[in-house]
A and B are shown apart, each in its own frame.
Chain A
Amino acid sequence: NAGVMQNPRHLVRRRGQEARLRCSPMKGHSHVYWYRQLPEEGLKFMVYLQKENIIDESGMPKERFSAEFPKEGPSILRIQQVVRGDSAAYFCASSPTGSGQETQYFGPGTRLLVL
């Protein structure tokens, strides 16, 4: 069952370090979305990517955060110089063609803890 895969599932970083979160979409899916979920809060959209293209990054913080989805390999969400407020669960979702009306299927998430 080739669902959405995320790794690592748990990541601990000290303030100032870099965090790299990886997402492999479902087989046949070429569109990836990243979300952040803070404790006791809802999912917040961060970025939407197709292969080699960022389509909508309106939810990404302006600094320290970046995302990519290369032609080969997983999508990467990168957080530079992490701060305690970055501690959250980060989920990625994938869809087949990104028409906007398609269901997004979610991965299990990466739980980032910044010490």
Chain B
Amino acid sequence: EDQVTQSPEALRLQEGESSSLNCSYTVSGLRGLFWYRQDPGKGPEFLFTLYSAGEEKEKERLKATLTKKESFLHITAPKPEDSATYLCAVQGFRGGFKTIFGAGTRLFVKA
């Protein structure tokens, strides 16, 4: 069964303190791995899609990387406005069209 595990559950950083969020996944043939940001009371906001091991994508202070077993979301010099829950999700070729989400990492960035 396809699974996604995110760690840590929560992460508290000082402004400017870089760190990484982890997404470990088990999937029968990766169709795509997705990162989203979710603010309280809102829908998930798309960040990145990764398709194959070795792929990297960047957007402002965020960089997503992918291996065969996990993905990392690197946050460089975070700001308080980066505080949110970051969600990782996968789709596998044998899972039909079901997208499996992790429970998320809640990031708090203090000024």
Q: Is A106 a contact partner of B34 (Cβ separation < 8 A)? A: no
Residue from A41, A48, A104 having most chain B Cβ neighbours under 10 A: A104
The reply to whether B87 and A43 form a contact with Cβ atoms under 8 Å apart is yes
**Interface residue tally of chain B, by bracket?**
20 to 34
Is residue A91 contacting chain B, with contact meaning CB distance below 8 A? yes
On whether the beta carbons of B104 and A56 are closer than 8 Å, the reply is: no
* Cβ contacts under 8 Å, A12 to chain B: none
Measured between beta carbons, the chain B residues less than 8 angstroms from A93 are 44
A17 at the interface (CB under 8 A from B): no
Measured in the bound complex, the distance between the Cα atoms of B36 and A109 in whole Å is 15
Contacts of B34 in A (CB 8 A): 103-104
Decide if A103 touches B46 in the complex (CB within 8 Å).
yes
CA of A45 to CA of B42, assembled, Å: 17
CB distance from A96 to the nearest CB of B (A): 13
- Would you call B98 an interface residue if the criterion is a C-beta within 8 Å of the partner chain's C-beta atoms? yes
**B98 contacts A42, C-beta separation under 8 Å:** no
In this complex, how many residues of chain A approach chain B with their Cβ under 8 Å: the count is 26
Residue of B nearest to A4 (CB): B43
30 A-B pairs (CB sep. < 8 Å): A4-B43, A33-B97, A33-B99, A35-B101, A42-B87, A42-B103, A42-B104, A43-B101, A44-B101, A45-B100, A45-B101, A48-B97, A56-B96, A59-B98, A91-B43, A91-B44, A93-B44, A98-B97, A100-B93, A103-B34, A103-B46, A103-B49, A104-B34, A105-B46, A106-B36, A106-B44, A106-B46, A107-B43, A108-B42, A108-B43
B interface residues (Cβ-Cβ under 8 A, vs A): 31-32, 34, 36, 42-46, 49, 51, 87, 89, 91, 93, 96-104
